[in-house]
A = this chain, B = another copy of it.
Amino acid sequence: MKFRVTAEFDDAKTGIVETDHGSFETPAFIPVATLAAVRGLDSRDLKDMGVEAIIANTYHLHLRPGDELIKRMGGLHKFMDFDGPIITDSGGFQAFSLGLGMEHGVGKIADNIFLEGLKNPDYKGEKWAFVDDEGVTFRSPLTGQRVKLTPEKSMQIQSNLGSDIIFAFDECTSPLSDKEYTARAMERTHRWAEICLECYDRRQALFGIVQGGEYKDLRIKSAEFMAEKEFAGYGIGGSLGKSKRDMLNILEWVNPILPEDKPRHLLGIGAVEDIFNSVERGIDMFDCVSPTRWARRGVLFISPLEGGNVRNKFRIHIKNARFREDAKPIDRWCDCFVCQDYSRAYLRHLYVANELTYFRLASYHNVYFMLKLMREIRDSIKEGSFYELKKEWLGY
Indicate if the CB atoms of A39 and B325 lie closer than 8 Å: no
A360 to chain B, nearest CB (A): 6
* Binary per-residue interface labels of chain A (37-54) against chain B in the complex, 1 for a CB within 8 Å, 0 otherwise: 111111110000000000
Most buried by B among A69, A296, A345, A352: A345
Residues of B within 8 A of A348 (CB): 65
Residues of B within 8 A of A41 (CB): 357
A337 within 8 Å of B (CB atoms): yes
Given A325-B72, A356-B360, residue A341 in contact with residue B81 (CB < 8 A): yes
Indicate if the CB atoms of A37 and B342 lie closer than 8 Å: no
Indicate if the CB atoms of B350 and A64 lie closer than 8 Å: no
Chain A, 41-97, CB within 8 A of any chain B CB:
41-44, 64-65, 69, 72-74, 79-81
Most buried by B among A36, A65, A348: A65
Indicate if the CB atoms of A39 and B356 lie closer than 8 Å: yes
* Binary per-residue interface labels of chain A (205-239) against chain B in the complex, 1 for a CB within 8 Å, 0 otherwise: 00000000000000000000000000000000000
Indicate if the CB atoms of A64 and B357 lie closer than 8 Å: no
Given A325-B72, A355-B35, residue A341 in contact with residue B79 (CB < 8 A): no
**This chain: copies in complex:** 2
Question: With A and B bound together, what is the CA distance between A349 and B36 in angstroms?
Answer: 9
Indicate if the CB atoms of A345 and B40 lie closer than 8 Å: no
Question: With A and B bound together, what is the CA distance between A65 and B321 in angstroms?
Answer: 12
Question: With A and B bound together, what is the CA distance between A74 and B343 in angstroms?
Answer: 11
Residues of B within 8 A of A7 (CB): none
Indicate if the CB atoms of A42 and B80 lie closer than 8 Å: no
Indicate if the CB atoms of B40 and A356 lie closer than 8 Å: yes
A286 within 8 Å of B (CB atoms): no
Indicate if the CB atoms of A349 and B72 lie closer than 8 Å: no
**What would be 25 A-B contacts, judged by CB atoms less than 8 Å apart?**
A35-B350, A35-B353, A37-B355, A37-B356, A37-B358, A38-B357, A39-B356, A39-B357, A40-B356, A40-B357, A42-B341, A44-B337, A44-B341, A64-B349, A64-B352, A64-B353, A65-B353, A69-B324, A73-B327, A73-B345, A79-B346, A79-B349, A356-B356, A356-B359, A356-B360
Given contacts A36-B350, A356-B359, 13 further A-B contacts (CB under 8 A): A35-B350, A35-B355, A36-B349, A37-B356, A37-B358, A41-B357, A43-B341, A64-B352, A64-B353, A65-B352, A69-B325, A80-B346, A356-B360
Chain A residues at the B interface, C-beta cutoff of 8 Å = 35-44, 64-65, 69, 72-74, 79-81, 296, 324-325, 327, 337, 341-343, 345-346, 348-350, 352-353, 355-361, 363
